[in-house]
Amino acid sequence: MNFKIVIFLISALGLGAIVTTTPKTTDEETSGVIFQSTDGGKTWQDISAGLPKKIDPYTVYSDDDNLLLGFEKGILSKKNFHDATWQKENFLNEPVNQIFHSKTSPYVYNVDAGVLQKIENTGFWVPVFTGLKSKFILSILETQTGDILVGTTTGLFKSVDHGKTWTKTYDNGYVYSLVEKDHIIMAGTDQGLIRSMNKGEKWEIVLSDDGATISVKHIGYSFFAISQGYLIGKFSGEMPSASANTLRRSKDGGKTWQHIDEHIAPFAYASKVGDGRSPVRRINDVEGIQNYIFASIDNGVYRSADFGKTWELVLPSTENTYFSIATSGDVIYAVKKNAGC
């Protein structure tokens, strides 16, 4: 099972200059799958060499020690961005749908196998959170107090004993994304963005104007939320034609939210029959490094140095693809993924 969310928005032409560098590859090398930038998005290096041919990445994960790609046959890894080789993790030969951060080693999720985690200083991966094996998991968060929150398609579950037992603390649909900063926990749900100030026990809605919130992250001193939005024309009497999603920022712990998406490629594509691109913009991902905010939309990765007042296209995508992005320190990674259902 492959869970994908498709959100349509007004799409657009790129802004600003693009400077990219791509090393030469031989006919035997894979290229154009994953790129990295160590200079704040000014230049990008193709680090795909060594990946399997025709790989279709599902997810990307990075921390101080690892760069991981989840794909249809498990996980491929690099120790860090200096490492020139990709290694196959030999614990699972099935699709890895999601990889989540942990204070020790990351959590890996496969729909059939459930959640697995590597035992530190070994090559062994073991099942964890087996009490949630029957649930379809969308998000995992280890809180600052050591509790574990797991978002699923049927609500949110909390464990205070390292996953041995679980209590349901939110029971109102999908929980797509979880993040915490300064003991404020945010969760993106299909009802909007919800917030907890008491360790995930009670929740309040803080943003519902934009429909379902599919991603929430903390970057710098702010929270950022990508929401699904509503059909264009829904409130104007026109025939709904496409779904417009949004990117907002909160500087006050989620109390108020400001749009920072108005100037991300604001002009629609000149679509034609057989073009293959969505006629509207779609915001897919957001990350931040070195005082820049990066947003991935259908035609590439955009960068803003002023929190969304202006944007420039720094890494263009190709037809029917978009980028997922991840960061580690001052390094940003962009992984090309296939668009579509």
Question: pLDDT value at position 231?
Answer: 58
- Is the CB of residue 2 less than 8 Å from the CB of residue 95? yes
Q: φ and ψ at 274, to 5 degrees? A: 80, 5
Euclidean distance between CA atoms 59 and 285, whole angstroms? 12
Report the range of poorest mean pLDDT among 10-19, 143-152, 250-259, 265-274: 10-19
pLDDT of 134 over the 60 cut: yes
What is the pLDDT confidence band of residue 280, given thresholds at 50, 70 and 90?
Answer: low
Higher pLDDT, 276 or 160: 160
In angstroms, what CA-CA distances link 227 with 122, 214, 220?
39, 5, 20
pLDDT of 133 over the 80 cut: yes
Question: pLDDT value at position 302?
Answer: 96
Within its chain, how far is the Cα of 324 from the centroid?
6
Domains of the chain: 34-338 (2.130.10.10)
pLDDT of 132 over the 90 cut: yes
Q: In the chain, what percentage of residues exceed pLDDT 70?
A: 81
Q: φ and ψ at 131, to 5 degrees? A: -70, -15
Task: Supply the pTM of this predicted model.
Answer: 0.84
Question: pLDDT value at position 184?
Answer: 97
Report the range of poorest mean pLDDT among 11-20, 27-36, 158-167: 11-20
Euclidean distance between CA atoms 21 and 40, whole angstroms? 14
Q: In the chain, what percentage of residues exceed pLDDT 90?
A: 63
What is the pLDDT confidence band of residue 275, given thresholds at 50, 70 and 90?
Answer: very low
- Is the CB of residue 177 less than 8 Å from the CB of residue 152? no
Higher pLDDT, 5 or 292: 292
What is the pLDDT confidence band of residue 340, given thresholds at 50, 70 and 90?
Answer: low
Placement of tokens 């030969």 in the chain: 93
Question: pLDDT value at position 82?
Answer: 66
